[in-house]
């Protein structure tokens, strides 16, 4: 069958594919420990669920304005003011069906054939394909583990060309957990000040933050860049609301209007009920977030330490998000029963077959020396899963 050249240029999301594979194996009775899914294991908090139930009971079940209700836009504007010291009008905010949809819409309104989009690696698996689907060309900057997986201003300077249209900054990062400090962002901002390019700041892990400095985004750090920055965020990770599909962007009015136009021809509004839930998430009790984050931090401390104790594994300590991205390249070249492990994909397949552990190969995020494990699962699972990895790795010689 002939499919469009557009779809032939991309791959399916590897994080979702491996999560589905692990679920299918479990359904067949295999006791698989899942470190693949990038979603909180906590239930959506009860006040948020109740807001949705109330919405249904009150009949708030019809189309809303394409880009979200005024009530939700006001809650988002209040969140930006409260948390980020950024001011936006309703006309500068648009709500979509998850931050992935927001990023997709943004790429569709910004990029044309030949436009280059700078993506620091390791990157979230979907960025390059979202850019390619819009006709743009991803330009990858390889950050170094010794630099804390952060892009250096010199690297950024060297990647800029007359075709550069935008850069994507994701702090804290999926998959490394690296987060930029104010000084580091200022240095990046200094390179961008006199360049006519857009900055896409994906702040989805903003609240899942452990560093000893506060979270800040580039528009707050350098107000002169605010007119060219589009901040992307959502409720999926902070409020354990992955299934509700609410993401949003704030930025220049013209871009927001263009996203509204695109969205009016694809999904129309995000679910009315989920929008009511998102209002409660953003405006209700925020202590629930602290509780989830302290549990993530406990697990992070455990998993980093436990992975470090596996000979051949080195684990960068994340400053945010809920992933670890251990360097496993010292294991490459070893074999078990004639099966040689030479890259991250082969290691992940081996761990699934021999240890019943599901994780994601680093190559999906632009680094074949690493694998990604999500610790958004119970400490009990983490203990057992890491033990299994250790046993499987020790069999390799
Ligand atoms: N950005 C990053 C870095 C992510 O990890 C995710 C989660 N898949 C998203 C955006 C999209 O999140 P959602 O569509 O669930 O809002
Ligand atoms: N962001 C999550 C992850 O990276 C969810 C899956 C996805 O949307 O890719 O695993």
The per-residue pLDDT for range 251-305, each reduced to its tens digit, is 999 999 999 999 999 999 999 999 999 999 999 999 999 999 999 999 999 999 9
Task: Report the percentage of the chain scoring pLDDT > 70.
Answer: 100
CB contact set of 17 (below 8 Å; sequence gap of 6+): none
201-226: average pLDDT: 98
Distance (angstroms) between ligand 1 centre and the Cα of 191 equals 27
What residues pair up with 314 in beta bridges, in sequence order? 327
Where residue 122 falls among pLDDT bands split at 50, 70, 90? very high
The answer to whether the CB of 45 is under 6 A from ligand 1 is: no
Q: Where are the beta strands (DSSP E) in the chain?
A: 33-34, 93-96, 116-121, 137-142, 164-170, 198-202, 229-234, 247-250, 323-324, 335-336, 339-340, 357-358, 360-361, 371-374
Can you give the pLDDT at residue 369? 98
Where residue 42 falls among pLDDT bands split at 50, 70, 90? very high
The answer to whether the CB of 344 is under 6 A from ligand 1 is: no
Can you give the pLDDT at residue 124? 98
Can you give the pLDDT at residue 309? 97
Distance (angstroms) between ligand 1 centre and the Cα of 99 equals 5
Can you give the pLDDT at residue 240? 98
Q: Topology of domain 5-43+288-394, per CATH?
A: 3.90.1150
Cβ–Cβ < 8 Å for 110, 255 = yes
Where residue 18 falls among pLDDT bands split at 50, 70, 90? very high
Domain boundaries, the chain: 5-43+288-394, 62-283
CB contact set of 131 (below 8 Å; sequence gap of 6+): 107, 111, 117, 119, 137, 138
Can you give the pLDDT at residue 286? 96
Q: Which of 124, 103, 130, 122 lies closest to 234 in space, CA to CA?
A: 103
Write the CA distances from 235 to 240, 246, 277, 310, integer angstroms: 7, 6, 10, 35
d(CA 271, CA 263): 13
- Which residue lies with its CA nearest to atom 4 of ligand 2? 38
216-221: average pLDDT: 97
Where residue 15 falls among pLDDT bands split at 50, 70, 90? very high
Q: What's 295-310 look like in SS3?
A: HHHHHHHHHHHHHHCC
Distance (angstroms) between ligand 2 centre and the Cα of 119 equals 17
The answer to whether the CB of 376 is under 6 A from ligand 2 is: no
H-run or E-run covering 258: helix 253-264
Cβ–Cβ < 8 Å for 225, 199 = yes
Distance (angstroms) between ligand 1 centre and the Cα of 204 equals 7
The answer to whether the CB of 104 is under 6 A from ligand 1 is: no
Number of neighbouring beta carbons within 10 Å of residue 368:
18
Where residue 47 falls among pLDDT bands split at 50, 70, 90? very high
Can you give the pLDDT at residue 181? 98
The answer to whether the CB of 125 is under 6 A from ligand 2 is: yes
pTM recorded for the entire structure: 0.97
Atom in ligand 2 nearest the alpha carbon of residue 13: 9
206-216: average pLDDT: 97
Q: Which of 375, 133, 93 lies closest to 247 in space, CA to CA?
A: 93
Where residue 343 falls among pLDDT bands split at 50, 70, 90? very high
For domain 62-283, which CATH number applies: 3.40.190.10, 3.40.640.10, 3.30.2270.10, 3.30.70.2860? 3.40.640.10
The answer to whether the CB of 52 is under 6 A from ligand 2 is: no
Atom in ligand 2 nearest the alpha carbon of residue 14: 9
Mean pLDDT of the chain: 97
Cβ–Cβ < 8 Å for 362, 372 = yes
Name the residue with tokens 């354990």.
240
Whether 5-43+288-394 shares its CATH topology with 62-283 is answered: no
Can you give the pLDDT at residue 102? 98
Task: Report the percentage of the chain scoring pLDDT > 90.
Answer: 99
Can you give the pLDDT at residue 56? 98
The answer to whether the CB of 247 is under 6 A from ligand 1 is: yes
Where residue 320 falls among pLDDT bands split at 50, 70, 90? very high
CA dihedral 327, 332, 338, 339 (to 10 degrees): 50
188-195: average pLDDT: 98
60-73: average pLDDT: 98
């Amino acid at each position: 069958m002939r499919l469009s050249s557009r779809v032939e240029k991309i791959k399916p999301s590897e994080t979702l594919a491996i999560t589905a594979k692990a679920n299918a194996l479990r359904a067949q009775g295999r006791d698989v420990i899942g470190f693949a899914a990038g979603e909180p294991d906590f239930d959506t908090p009860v006040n948020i669920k109740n807001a949705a139930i109330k919405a249904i009971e009150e009949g708030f079940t019809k189309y809303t304005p394409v880009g979200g209700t005024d009530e939700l836009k006001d809650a988002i504007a209040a969140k930006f003011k409260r948390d980020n010291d950024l001011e936006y009008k309703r006309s500068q905010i648009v709500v979509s069906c998850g931050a992935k949809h927001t990023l997709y819409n943004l790429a569709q309104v910004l990029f044309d054939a030949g436009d280059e989009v700078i993506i620091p690696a390791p990157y979230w698996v979907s960025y390059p394909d979202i850019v390619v689907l819009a006709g743009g060309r991803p330009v990858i900057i390889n950050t170094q583990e010794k630099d804390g997986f952060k892009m250096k201003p010199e690297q950024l300077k060297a990647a800029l060309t007359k075709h550069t249209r935008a850069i994507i900054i994701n702090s804290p990062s999926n998959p490394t957990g690296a987060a930029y400090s104010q000084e580091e962002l200022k240095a990046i901002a200094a390179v961008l000040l006199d360049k006519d390019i857009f900055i896409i700041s994906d702040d989805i892990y903003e609240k899942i933050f452990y560093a000893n400095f506060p979270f800040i985004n580039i528009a707050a750090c350098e107000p002169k860049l605010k007119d060219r920055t589009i901040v992307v965020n959502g409720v999926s990770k902070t409020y354990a609301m992955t299934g509700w599909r609410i993401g949003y962007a704030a930025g220049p009015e013209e871009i927001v209007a263009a996203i509204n136009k695109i969205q009016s021809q694809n999904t129309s509004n995000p679910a009315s009920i989920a929008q009511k839930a998102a209002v409660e998430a953003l405006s209700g009790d925020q202590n629930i977030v602290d509780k989830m984050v302290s549990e993530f931090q406990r697990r992070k401390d455990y998993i980093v330490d436990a992975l470090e104790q596996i000979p051949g594994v080195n684990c960068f300590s994340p400053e945010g998000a809920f992933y670890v991205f251990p360097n496993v390249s010292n294991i490459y070249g070893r074999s078990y029963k004639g099966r040689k492990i030479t890259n991250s994909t082969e290691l992940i397949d081996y761990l699934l077959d021999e240890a019943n552990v599901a994780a994601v190969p680093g190559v999906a995020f632009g680094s074949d020396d690493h694998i990604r494990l999500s610790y958004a699962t119970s400490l009990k699972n983490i203990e057992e899963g890491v033990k299994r990895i250790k046993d499987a790795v020790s069999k390799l010689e």
